[in-house]
Amino acid sequence: MKLIIFLHRWLGTVVCLFFFLWFASGIVMMYAQMPQLSRDERLAALPPLDAARARLSAAEAMDRAQLDYFSDIRLTSLFGRPVWSIRADGTWYTVFADTGQVKTAFPYEETQPSIQPFLTAGAKPRLIASLTEPDQWTVGGNYRTLRPLYHLALDDPAGTELYIASTTGQVVLRSTARTRMLAWAGAIPHWFYLTGIRKHAAFWRQLVIWVSGTGCVVALLGLAVGIWRSSPSKRYFVRLYNRHTWSPYVGVMRWHHWGGLIFGTITFTWVFSGLLSVDPGYYSSGSSPGPEQVGAFEGDALDYTAFDASPALLIGLYPWAKEIQLGQVDGRPYYLVISPQQQQELVDATGKPAPDFSHDFLITAAKRAVPQGNIVEQIVLNEYDAYYYDRLRQAPPLPVLRLKFDDPAQTWLYVDPRRGEIAARYERAGRVERWLYHGLHSWDFPFLYRFRPAWDIVVIALSLGGIFLSIIGVVIGYRVLKRTLLR
C-alpha cells in the first residue's frame, strides 16, 4: 500500500493539473466547440439557385471536367452563379453551369464575391495569409483538399475572420473573437488542440493515450487508497478533533479524502471515456455504413450519364433550393433538393417527389449489405432510441427502419425509407462504444439527455465536483513537493 500511496501522490501532483483543465474546459464545451461554418450558416449565405443561368446538367458538367467518376457532386452557387462542385480523387472541380467553364483553383482576388454575405457594417476585408499548412483554427477538420486557404480578417466589431478555399472559391470557416476565446477556454485545452501538437496526428494521438491512461491509473490508485483508509466504524482517533472519525486525515487531506470517495469514480469514468475518444486499438467501426453497404442500396455501378435532368426544371419546381445533391438508389438517379433548416426533398429526373421506398426493397438491400447474417428483428422507429438519436443537434431523419442481424458482428442497421439509404450502422463494438465513450463522457443517457436543463445541471454539478477534487489535489501536491525540496 505504501507504493500505491507513493505513486498516487507524485503522479497525482502532475495529473491533477490535467484533471482541472479537462473538467473546466468540459463545461465550456457543453455550449461551444471549435469555430466552424455550420451547414445551415453556409446555406443561409447562399442565394437561391438561379434557374435562368443553370443550363448544364450534371452529366454535361462531368463531360466538361473530363471526369467519369465522382465521390461528391452538387449544384450550388458561387459568386452568384450556379456551379457544379465536383470532387474526384481528392481534387475539386468547379464547373460553371451557365458557361461550362472549368476551374480547379481561384486566386484571392476572384474570391471576393464569396465574402459579401458575411460582411457587416464597417467591415474592411484584409488578407492575413495564404495558408498551405494548418493553423490553429484549421488544424482539425477536413481542410486538406481545400488548401491553400485564404485567411482574412474583416476588422469589424465582432473580430470576424474568414477562411476561403482556393480550390473552390467558397468560404469554409468563420470565426469571431468570441468563438475563438471560447475555443481557447474549451476545445483547445480539452483536446490538446495546439497547432504544434495536433498537426502531428500520430504524436497527438499517443499523447492523449498516455496522459489519459496515466490519469486513469491515478484515479484508480486514489480510489484504492481512499477506500482502504476509510472506516465506517470510526476506528481512527484524530487528536485534532479529540474524537474517533471515519478518516485519519485532517484539513485539506480530509477534504481530498472525502472528495475522492464521492467524485473519484466520476473522474475515472470521464478520463477513461476520454481515452476512448481516440479509439485506442482501433476497436470501433463507428456508426457510418461502409462502402459496400452503401453500394447495396445504390445498386448498379454509378453511371454519371444518367444524371441528365435539366437543373432549370428542378429549380423552377423548387425555387427555395439552395443546393441540389446527386444520389442513386436501386440503380436509379435521384436529386436531393436542399435549403437551410433541414428542408429537403428527394425527387426524380422530372422533379416529382420520390415516394417512400418499398419495404421489400429496403429488406433486400439490407440483406445485401450484411450478407453474413439473417434479420432477426425489424421495427419502424418513430422516435429516437438509445443508439440512433440527435447527438449533434442535426435532427437525423425519422421514421427509420431498424434491422438487427445475427452476423458475427451483430450488426444493426437504421434505414431511412424516405431516401432509401442507411442512416446509421452499429456493430456490437460500436454499441459498446456508445456507452463507454458517449455515455460515460457526455452523460447522454436517454433518461437524462432528453430532459434539459436537467442534463446541464447534473453534468455541471459533477464537473464542479471534479474541479474541487483536482484543486485540492494540486494544493496537496504543491505542499508535499515544497516540503520535500526544503528537506
The per-residue pLDDT for range 208-240, each reduced to its tens digit, is 999 999 999 999 999 998 888 888 877 887 777
Q: pTM score > 0.85 for this model?
A: yes
> Per the domain annotation, does 334 fall within a domain?
no
> Per the domain annotation, does 323 fall within a domain?
no
Q: How far from 420 is each of 291, 298, 416, CA to CA, in Å?
A: 15, 8, 6
| Strand stretches in 157-311, DSSP E | 161-165, 171-175, 236-238, 243-245
Instruction: Supply φ then ψ for residue 469, to 5 degrees.
Output: -60, -40
Mean pLDDT calculated for residue range 48-76: 95
Give the residue from 153, 186, 219 where a domain finishes. Answer: 186
> Per the domain annotation, does 325 fall within a domain?
no
Residues 119 and 197 both lie in one domain: no
Residues 142 and 222 both lie in one domain: no
Name the packing angle between helices 2-29 and 177-185 (round to 10°).
Answer: 160
Q: Containing domain of residue 467, as a range?
A: 1-32+187-286+450-487
Residues 253 and 265 both lie in one domain: yes
d(CA 29, CA 21): 12
Residue 52 has pLDDT above 90, yes or no: yes
Residues 51 and 151 both lie in one domain: yes
> Per the domain annotation, does 157 fall within a domain?
yes
Say what the pLDDT of residue 413 is.
97
Residues 237 and 269 both lie in one domain: yes
Residues 20 and 158 both lie in one domain: no
d(CA 301, CA 482): 70
Residue 468 has pLDDT above 80, yes or no: yes
Residues 134 and 247 both lie in one domain: no
Residues 138 and 172 both lie in one domain: yes
Residues 229 and 368 both lie in one domain: no
> Per the domain annotation, does 204 fall within a domain?
yes
Residue 342 has pLDDT above 70, yes or no: no
Say what the pLDDT of residue 281 is.
66
Residues 70 and 111 both lie in one domain: yes
> Per the domain annotation, does 437 fall within a domain?
no
Residues in the chain: 487
Residues 56 and 177 both lie in one domain: yes
The average confidence (pLDDT) of the chain is: 92
Q: What is residue 249's three-state secondary structure?
A: coil
How would DSSP label each residue in 238-283?
Answer: ETTTTEEES-S--HHHHHHHHHHHHHHHHHHHHHHHHHHTT-TT--
pLDDT tens string 429-457: 999 999 999 999 999 998 898 888 999 99
Residue 133 has pLDDT above 90, yes or no: yes
pLDDT tens string 169-187: 999 999 999 999 999 999 9
What are 206's three cell numbers? Answer: 499517443
CATH classification of the domain holding 418: 3.10.450
Task: Please count the structural domains in the chain.
Answer: 3
Q: What is residue 312's three-state secondary structure?
A: helix
> Per the domain annotation, does 4 fall within a domain?
yes
pLDDT tens string 396-411: 889 999 999 999 999 9
What are 19's three cell numbers? Answer: 484533471
Give the residue from 186, 201, 221 where a domain finishes. Answer: 186
Whose CA is closest to 257, among 249, 245, 269, 265? 249
> Per the domain annotation, does 28 fall within a domain?
yes
Give the residue from 166, 186, 206 where a domain finishes. Answer: 186
Residues 10 and 48 both lie in one domain: no
